[in-house]
Structure 1
């Protein structure tokens, strides 16, 4: 008996007439093979994306590069680079308003899992001299953060990367430009 791969069984299942033997072979072949881990297949983000974008591998397949998300963004921070939506967090911040998600016709920006924080792919890091280190009573970044990811600690700040969505609102609010957005 020849060794048949999953393409054969997928073709058998897609045919309108399928024997019971072919059906059970197709079903059993999916169960008996080792499960591929999603971590190995998931592509890592190299640029910030809109916060509700689906995983990178799926985004490249779903997004058709229409640019409707770019037109809908009230902050004008979405740019279409290589037919993919990219956030330009250098000059502005994402308010996570959801306009890009509502404008997307392909559902490439429809990642709305209730247990998952919206994430751009970037995180806030302390990169310069925080004016709190000079005993100034500044809390601009903590007040600007919509996810309470920044705490004031003595004469500096602490950024909880698990709560950070990468929206850059803290970076824009910082009067000392001490916060930088880096890819995670």
Structure 2
């Protein structure tokens, strides 16, 4: 076996060299990729939850089932079902006031997300389909998720928070709530 001389080690050092800029660029690209991917993750929900609730797996561990969120809700749409806060969107819409989050003694309602886990969908009963003028649902939507078309409405699922204010405003019950 042949001994490695000074030229070999010098060549290896030159190959392994990296500028400071290259080092930080490499480190930052490894760090920023997971951050970008995690920013688009939406909390998974099995039922409509208060808008700032953490995802269900964490909610089970954090919620102490005290019912403070139920008592604090001015719309009276939060109930404890299976020990977890759930929205009854058939009765009323969530105005996203944040009272439930302020009343929660744990961090169960401290998420940065504002989605209830539900989304609005339009049925075939919209009176705009027959040429009638109506913009009640669009005017009631606080997120601008409803676009009026000549023959109905279009609901943008990405901007819809699932608050059900559009469903409450619709006089023909043409909007229904479903889970994402």
Q: TM-score, normalised by structure 2?
A: 0.75
Distance between the aligned counterparts of 1:172 and 1:74, measured in 2? 16
CA displacement at 1:44 relative to structure 2: 3.6
Distance in 2 (CA, whole Å) between partners of 1:149 and 1:65 is 33
Which has the larger Rg?
2
Q: Which runs of 5+ in 1 are unaligned?
A: 1-34
Gaps of 5+ in 2: 1-33
Residues 163/129 of structure 1: CA separation in 2 closer, same or farther (3 Å cut): same
CA distance in 1, matches of 2:163, 2:44: 18
1:159-178 → structure 2 map (5 Å cutoff): 159-178=155-174
Partner of 2:137: 141
After superposing on structure 2, the runs of 4+ consecutive aligned residues of structure 1 that deviate more than 6 Å are none
Preserved contact between residue 46 and residue 56 of structure 2 (Cα < 8 Å): no
Within-5 A mapping of 1:61-76: 61-76=61-76
Partner residue in 1 for 2:176: 180
Cα RMSD for the two superposed structures = 1.8
- Quote the offset at 1:43 in angstroms: 8.1
SS of the aligned residue for 1:148 comes to coil
- Name 2:95's counterpart in structure 1: 95
1:128 Cα deviation after fit: 3.5
Count matched residues: 142
Q: How does 1:1-184 map to 2 (within 5 A)?
A: 44-112=44-112, 116=113, 118-184=114-180
- Offset of residue 127 of structure 1: 2.0
| Deviation string, structure 1 residues 139-167 (Cα, Å, up to 9, x no partner) | 00000000000000111100000000000
